[in-house]
């Protein structure tokens, strides 16, 4: 094993960063630094270790750590007969590290260099794929990471390591979810500051933890005044680290286009969250003459609309159709066109006509539709 003599170590630790070295090289902070040479200065040992792992993957070889402490970081090739070696130590016994010796010539065999991937940790792989995850529209999967690392770097990864690498890369791109939630008050403040007339609300639990957030743009608030008095509400599940649910409200403008009105981030779909969302909608948009609320048949929505007793609630025909086809699957293909014709009938005569046609296909459908409130929902 190659070691520094005691007097050599002492002289290294006593040696500072000369003015010329600082001007020529600077202090390296980028873990993706590709060029490694003697006399380079690194901000800390962790950065230097990451750089060497990335360097090994780029150069397609493997090393092992011979000595690692708060003041030393020595490496050698996995083949004890290879001449490749690397030595670094702390400057003035501090956190800054300097490369003291670097022999970058590999004399080991092909098999020793290529058959293992000691340095291909999930953190290192994350550094290689982080740029590919910057595009939010691209669905970059762990399988893609496995394929790219094999093709570009000759490194074989299992699925779990690729998955962990993606998670770490996403954290680099987007930050930690816990930190993001902590910055929500500042984010909502800046939204209102840069968008006058915008409405945001943040509701916390008794322990001071995030519970609900509400956002509505000023353009949506003004657009509601000139849109149809129909507010469609829905929800969707979130797939982030803390899960949760997004509640949305939208309408149709005068041209028949969908106009988003507001959205809220809540813990789950329940009476309390829907009730809080509808209260924010009422305070923000008010109640218009001839206004209707359209939704699916979730019980929490029914319970929450008690804050808007003067506004009738209707059921979305697409949600209602999904219920019908799941309950009466045998004749769903025949019933589909008649159901939608029934839903869009504007006269009592047409409604009765299509209901009779639906009864000919399956007599169980009419009692179900009447039970859920056909007159209000269709």
Quick: pLDDT tens for 131-187.
788 777 788 899 998 888 878 777 788 899 888 888 888 887 888 888 888 888 999
Q: In the prediction, which pLDDT does 23 show?
A: 35
User: Is the pTM for the entire model greater than 0.85?
Assistant: no
Quick: pLDDT tens for 96-130.
999 999 998 877 766 555 544 555 677 778 877 87
Closest by alpha carbon to 344, among 367, 362, 320, 360?
320
User: DSSP readout, 183-220?
Assistant: THHHHHHHHHHHSTT-EEEEEE-TTS-EEEEEEE-HHH
Cα Rg of the chain, angstroms? 32
Q: DSSP secondary-structure letter at 34?
A: -
Beta strands 41-42; 97-103: pairing state: antiparallel
Percent of the chain exceeding pLDDT 90 equals: 31
Q: In the prediction, which pLDDT does 110 show?
A: 60
User: Can you give the residue ranges of every domain in the chain?
Assistant: 1-116, 120-174, 181-315, 318-377
Closest by alpha carbon to 298, among 250, 248, 235?
235
Rounded Cα gap, residues 149 and 276, in angstroms:
47
Give every strand in the sheet of 292-295, ordered side by side: 199-204, 210-216, 258-266, 245-252, 230-237, 292-295, 313-315
Q: Hey, CA dihedral for 214, 218, 220, 221, is it positive or negative?
A: positive
Q: In the prediction, which pLDDT does 118 show?
A: 55
For the cut 60, the answer to whether the pLDDT of residue 224 exceeds it is yes
Rounded Cα gap, residues 338 and 322, in angstroms:
14
Please state, in angstroms and as integers, the Cα–Cα distance from residue 274 to each residue in 77, 214, 216, 267, 299, following that order: 61, 12, 16, 11, 10
Quick: pLDDT tens for 43-87.
999 899 888 887 887 777 778 888 999 999 999 887 788 888 999
Closest by alpha carbon to 46, among 34, 30, 61, 59?
30
Rounded Cα gap, residues 203 and 275, in angstroms:
13
């Amino acid at each position: 094993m190659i070691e520094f003599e005691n007097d050599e170590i002492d002289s290294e630790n006593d040696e500072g960063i000369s003015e010329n070295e600082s001007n020529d090289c600077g202090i390296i902070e980028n873990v993706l630094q590709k060029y490694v040479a003697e006399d380079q200065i690194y901000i800390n040992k962790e950065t230097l270790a990451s750089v060497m792992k990335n360097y090994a993957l780029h150069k397609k070889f493997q090393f092992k750590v011979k000595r690692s402490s708060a003041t030393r970081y020595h490496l050698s090739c996995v083949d004890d007969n290879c001449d490749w070696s690397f030595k670094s130590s702390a400057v003035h016994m501090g956190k800054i590290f300097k490369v003291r010796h670097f022999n970058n010539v590999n004399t080991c065999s092909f098999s020793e260099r290529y058959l293992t991937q000691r340095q291909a940790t999930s953190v290192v792989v994350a550094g290689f794929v982080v740029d590919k995850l910057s595009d939010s529209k691209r669905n970059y999967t762990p399988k893609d990471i496995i394929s790219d690392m094999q093709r570009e770097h000759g490194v074989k990864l299992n699925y779990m390591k690729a998955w962990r690498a993606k998670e770490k890369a996403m954290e680099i791109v987007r930050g930690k979810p816990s930190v993001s939630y902590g910055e929500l008050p500042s984010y909502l403040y800046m939204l209102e500051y840069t968008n006058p007339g915008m409405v945001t609300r943040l509701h916390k639990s008794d322990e001071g933890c995030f519970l609900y957030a509400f956002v509505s743009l000023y353009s949506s608030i003004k657009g509601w005044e000139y849109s149809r008095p129909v507010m469609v509400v829905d929800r969707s599940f979130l797939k982030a680290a803390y899960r949760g649910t997004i509640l949305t409200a939208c309408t149709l403008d005068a041209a028949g286009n969908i106009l988003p009105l507001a959205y809220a981030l809540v813990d789950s779909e329940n009476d309390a969250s829907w009730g809080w969302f509808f209260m924010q909608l009422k305070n923000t948009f008010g109640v218009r003459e001839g206004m209707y609320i359209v939704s699916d048949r979730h019980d929490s929505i029914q319970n929450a609309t008690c804050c808007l007793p003067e506004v009738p609630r209707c059921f979305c025909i697409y949600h209602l159709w999904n219920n019908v086809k799941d309950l009466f699957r045998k004749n769903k293909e025949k019933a589909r066109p008649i159901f939608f014709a029934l839903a869009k009938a504007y006269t009592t005569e047409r409604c009765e006509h299509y209901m009779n046609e639906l009864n000919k296909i399956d007599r169980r459908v009419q009692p179900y539709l009447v039970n859920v409130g056909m007159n209000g929902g269709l």
